[in-house]
């Protein structure tokens, strides 16, 4: 790990996080997807630490954050985010979430728009799970319970990455494999249930009054470009970029274009938080 890990108590959680950059800069909080952890954002922290306060934390049960005693749900993850911000005296932040991180960010802005200055939504969607997806998640839970994490990791990696990444970028593929294999089975199961139980946010996207950057891998099969296009049409101040040769983990698979759009967005939006 490039950066020093820190710990802070937020509600029932001992949250593991990275906190870099200028302490007087506007805070940007990065939220990872499932089943990853804060380490996936290291390059973005490195990129922005000169101008911003950049934070990435482990969602409940993931990475080095404990599972706590509350039941896992996207709503609970939103409460965790706000408690984490409270613990660090951060009143308002720019929030960047990938996939599940995006579900959390979208619910957070729906719940308390005063605390979010700007949104970066990566490889995510505003819809709830269809009955078919819920059934698949339940089958996955049974299979993980019966067979453990190895098969689950192999299946996940196949779906997560683009063909190009699978063939040419063994480094990121094996890094994500390692992350999944080190995630506790209980976290996988509890988070799959949380994802299946989430509610949609599409119906409130037209109310979002802050600048929003949407990015998605052109080959994302989990939250495909059409899902991002739909959010872009519904969010008034949004811009959308579809990143070539990337699957579901666009910040790792297409880092050059991802970082360029991220920096441009932050510069133009000029979201100074005092
Ligand atoms: C993620 O990357 O967070 C998950 O793929 C989201 C999901 O399964 O809905």
- Domain presence at residue 136: no
- Domain presence at residue 36: yes
Where the chain has pLDDT below 50, the residues are none
Ligand 1 atom with the shortest distance to the CA of 129: 9
Q: Of 97, 27, 73, which Cα lies nearest the Cα of 271?
A: 27
pLDDT tens string 170-218 = 999 999 999 999 999 999 999 999 999 999 999 999 999 999 999 999 9
Pocket test for ligand 1, best of 195, 248, 250 (most atoms within 8 A of CB): 195
- Domain presence at residue 97: yes
Q: With contact defined as beta carbons under 8 Å apart, do 211 and 94 qualify?
A: no
- Domain presence at residue 259: yes
- Domain presence at residue 240: yes
pLDDT tens string 242-274 = 999 999 999 999 999 999 999 999 998 887 776
Alpha helices in the chain (DSSP H): 42-48, 74-87, 100-111, 131-147, 149-160, 163-168, 170-181, 185-196, 225-234, 250-253, 255-269
- CATH number, domain of 242, equals 3.40.50.1820
Ligand 1 atom with the shortest distance to the CA of 249: 2
- pLDDT at res. 205: 98
Pocket test for ligand 1, best of 34, 103, 187, 200 (most atoms within 8 A of CB): 34
- Domain presence at residue 274: no
* Residues paired with residue 10 on neighbouring β-strands, in sequence order: 13
If DSSP codes are grouped into helix, strand and coil, which group holds residue 213? strand
CA distance 98 to 260: 17
Ligand 1 atom with the shortest distance to the CA of 101: 3
- pLDDT at res. 273: 74
Domains in the chain, number = 1
The values of phi and psi at residue 183, to 5°, are -85, 130
Q: Which domain holds residue 245?
A: 6-128+199-269
- Domain presence at residue 203: yes
- Domain presence at residue 194: no
* Inter-axis angle of helices 131-147 and 185-196, nearest 10: 170
């Amino acid at each position: 790990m490039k950066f020093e890990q820190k710990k802070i108590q937020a509600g029932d959680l001992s949250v593991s996080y990275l906190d870099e950059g200028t302490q007087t800069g506007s805070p940007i909080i990065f939220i990872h997807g499932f089943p990853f952890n804060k380490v996936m954002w290291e390059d973005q922290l490195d990129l922005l630490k000169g101008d911003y306060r950049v934070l990435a934390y482990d969602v409940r049960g993931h990475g080095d954050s404990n599972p706590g005693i509350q039941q896992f749900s996207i709503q609970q993850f939103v409460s965790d985010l706000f408690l984490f911000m409270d613990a660090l005296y951060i009143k308002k932040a720019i929030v960047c979430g990938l996939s599940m991180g995006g579900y959390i960010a979208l619910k957070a802005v729906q719940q308390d728009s005063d605390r979010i200055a700007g949104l970066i939504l990566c490889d995510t969607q505003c819809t709830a799970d269809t009955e078919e997806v819920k059934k698949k998640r339940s089958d996955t839970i049974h299979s993980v319970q019966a067979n453990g994490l190895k098969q689950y990791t192999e299946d996940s990696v196949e779906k997560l990455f683009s063909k190009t990444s699978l063939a040419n970028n063994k480094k990121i593929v094996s890094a994500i494999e390692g992350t999944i294999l080190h995630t506790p089975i209980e976290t996988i199961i509890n988070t799959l249930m949380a994802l299946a139980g989430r509610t949609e946010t599409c119906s409130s996207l037209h109310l979002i009054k802050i600048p929003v950057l949407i990015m998605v891998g052109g080959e994302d099969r989990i939250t495909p470009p059409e899902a991002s296009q739909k959010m872009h049409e519904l969010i008034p101040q949004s811009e959308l970029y579809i990143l070539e040769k990337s699957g579901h983990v666009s910040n790792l698979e297409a880092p050059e274009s991802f970082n360029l759009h991220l920096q441009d967005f932050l510069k133009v939006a000029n979201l100074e938080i005092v």
